[in-house]
Structure formats: C-alpha cells, structure tokens
Structure 1
Amino acid sequence: YLCEYYGWDTISTGSVIAVMLECFQRGLLTKDDVGFELSWGNAETGYQFIQLIAERRGFGTLMALGVKALARYVKKGSEKFAMHVKGLEISAYDHRAAPAMALSYATCDIGAHHNRSWAITYDVEAGRTSYGRDKAEKVIYLQHMRPLFDKLGVCRLYWVELGIDPNIYAEAYSAVVGKEFILEDLLACSERVWNVTRAMAVLRKGISIKDDMLPARDFEDPIPEGSTKGIKLDHENFINLLKTYYQLRGWDESGKPTKEKLISLRLEDVAEKLYG
C-alpha cells in the first residue's frame, strides 16, 4: 500500500530493504548506524524504511538510489548481496534454477526486469538445469513478442494468461492500418527495435558483455530449500548460453550488433553511427 501511495516500484523497494536487513544481519551495519533495530519478517521495519526513503532521512537517502548505490556506500562485501543487473533490482523469480529466466535478466535492456521476457515457465517446462540453444531461442522470441504489446498499446494479459492466438494481434493491426501484416512482420519490427536499443546503449553507455552479467551470488550460493534445493547457476554453461544468444541475434562476442545484422534489418543509419 505504501509503495503504491508514494508511486514506487515494489520490487526495487523490497530489494533495497532486503540489502539493509542482510547488512544488519551480517554485522556490516548496526542499530547506531540505522537508528533502530532490524530483523527479518518484521513488517514494522519495512514501514520505517519506506518512511525514511520517502523523507530522504538517514539511510533513506541512499536507499532511494537503489541497491547498487547503497552497496557502493556500505562496502564491506555488501556488493555480493546487492542483487541487480545494470543497476536495476532483480524481479522476484529465483533464476538460479531457471537459466532462460537468468538469460532474460542478463540481456534485458533496462536491467533485471521480467517484463521483456518472462521465460521461467519455459524453464519449468524444458528443464530447470538445461542450458540448451532452445532457451536462447525462447528468450529472443519473448523479447520480440512482449515489447510488441508496448508498440501496439495493448495488454499482454490476453496472450499470457488467456492464451489467445498471437496472430490475432496482426489481424487487428492490419484492420486498423488498412494494410495486410502477419505476425512475423510485427516481430521483425520488434527485432529492429531491440537492435536499435542495443546500439544506443553501446554508443551512450559502452554496454557490452560485461554488463549482460548476473551477480556472483547466483553462481556461488545454491538455493537453500524447496523443490530446487541445492541448485545454482553454472557459470561456464551460462556464459556459453549467453554467447549462443549473441550468435542467434547476429551480435559479436562483445554483445555489439554487427554491421551486417543492422543492414539486414534496414538499419543502415544505425550501422553508420555504430561503425562509421
């Protein structure tokens, strides 16, 4: 309720509170540092932190900047449990037993967000510990399908939850614009958008394979309980999966769209800016 009241993202808020709790649990922060006692499962602690963030008081000023900035201030090894990709906190799906979901987080343009590719259901279907080529293919398909809804200005609910035939979107679009399009045409447009976005990230931020990486904890700390207990991501297999993803996308080993790929997508102007 409080996050909605203030207009905040609940995932990022919960993640930054979790970092504070773990810092306290491990002795990296004390009651004197924070101003009050911290403990897991105490809802009042969460309320207090949200008020600190809203009023930018004490640690709330740092927490408002996200887990990456918070850990940079605390140091003392807190970087290990500041779970983020490209500075964005990870959505609440444990991807240590979901390589496709892990790849989705790693390669998402804005960081570890589930909205670009919700692939965990495919992990459950295809195998929790599988790192096959099919998972890279699935992630790319979802990264083209999910943003399609944004371009069309429609909700993804009917496709995801209600299971309608995605070809209906192409039929509806064709009816609106008065020109025939099939689903593959619209997905090709999504691919162009994805490559333009990547090229912009390379040019503006120097984004590369170093940024398409997950926190070390994903590879070091196994899942502690539940049906996937003991599983963690295999670093070598994940890197190979990431390289397969790049190959399928037509990107080089650094994660940069190749000139040939951009030209094949009719993005000659982008290729010119990226390669001269």
Structure 2
Amino acid sequence: MTAVRKAVLPVAGLGTRVLPGTKTTPKELLNVVDRPILSYIVEEAREAGIEHIVFVTGRSKGAIEDYFDHQVELEAQLEAKGKTDVLEAVRRDLPKAGEMSFTRQMAPLGLGHAVWCARDIVGNEPFAVLLPDVIVDSAPGALAQLMRAYDLVGGNIIGVEEVPASETHKYGIIDPERTEGRMSAMKGMVEKPAQGTAPSNMSIAGRYILQPEIFDILESQPRGAGGEIQLTDAMATLMGSQRFTAYQYEGITHDCGDKIGLLKANVALALKRPDLGDAARAALQGLI
C-alpha cells in the first residue's frame, strides 16, 4: 500500500459567507483566538505525517504564501527585545525547505477543479484533501484518524460526521452499505439531498484520502451543482471501480467559513487554552 505523503488545501475560495471580513483578508487567515484558521489545518496535516502541502490559491490570496515565509524585520525586532515566546509563535508555522507548494486556480470552478489543479504536484500517488475553513478539535487530529483507517483498508477514505436528520439537505451525505464501528463501506453519496430523501445522516466533513485516479475523472468531469466541477461527482464515478470507506472521526467540527461557526470556534478554543481559558470564561460571563 502506497503511503499518503501529500495533502491538497484548496484556498482559492472567496469567503462570501464571512464578508465583509474577507474583502481584503483571505478567510483562511482570519483568526481563531490568536492564530489564523490555516495554522490549525497545517498543524493537523503535519501531525498526520504529511510531508508536502499543496496550496491551491487564487487571485488576492498572496497573503497566504507570505504567511508561510519569514518576516525578517518583525522577527529581528522580537529577537532584539527578547520576546522569545512571541518569536517562537511567529515561526511555528514556517515550512521546512520544499515542504510547501503553491499553484493557482485561475477561475472559481469548484472544489473538484481546485483539486485537479494540484495534479502535477501530487503525481501518481494517494493524497489527502483538507478543507481549509473546517477546524476539527480532536486528539489525535481528524486526518491522523483517517490515516489509521487507510492503513487498515486502503482505497479512498472519506471523513464523515453525524448530523441531525433535519439538516441532511445542507450537506453531502454518504450512502452506506454496511457499518462496523466507525467505518462504513460506501455504495454511494448524494450532494444536498432533498429533505426526507437522505440515505443516512452521515455528512461528508471536509477530510479525504483519495487515490490519484480521481484526477483523470476530474479532467473531463462535467459541471454539476451550482455550475461547478464537484468533487463528490468525481468520487461517485470512481466508486464504480475502487473501494470507498467512510470514517466517522472523533472530534468537534467548527465551520469557520460561517460567521457563527467562526465565533463558536473562537469561544470553544479559547476556553480550552490553559493560558487564556479562565480569562476567556470570565469575559464571556461578564458579557452574558
């Protein structure tokens, strides 16, 4: 079984659900407590053993590449002032040489198209996809949990979480054939099924391990829902010839591409911080 060494992070989205905050700042760099959303995603990928991260960017996303580079003047000032703890925090996300690549999605044609844009960098090997506005609060991280499932069964692994039956129409939903523990063999998936028609209440939750044959399908994939090239459509096609397993990861998911989701992530993760938790709790109690 070929090891999963690379991860694709599609960061070209416009962040329309959190406008006007994303008018000039990429949504992936909005803060959760004192770190950008993207910092949590990269940390999760590294913890899972990912060696190379491919960012699929778009226009106005240059700040993402800048974030993962040295800020020479800032670092020099922090060092001169002896602020070593802050300096360490500033440097924590910096990549090792060759650890990150950046490629451009020239038009907003959907998640499937964004993943396809990474094909030449990923090459002919399995890879992970992490949606960069979804933080999963878990230990071990969600991708590390999917990696363990991949080591057991191989093929394609789709991270899922349980949602209320009344909300299944908002998500991509898997159609399980059989379930053992947290793993379900899949026989299909439906993108935002009409209310009352969902085959399960397990939603596709922004973490994937995919085989490289998905690129050949995406290359000629017709546009689907919303006039975009949908990754779920390509996965459904690939399911005709390859194993797909859904894994219900342990953890709390925060949709940081949504205003209330971003607020909840800030509150929840601040309360967990040993250095900030008490102060955050007191501040919240004072507001309430």
TM-score by length of 2: 0.23
> Which protein has greater RCO, CA pairs closer than 8 Å, 6+ apart?
2
- Higher relative strand content: 2
Larger radius of gyration: 1
TM-score by length of 1: 0.24
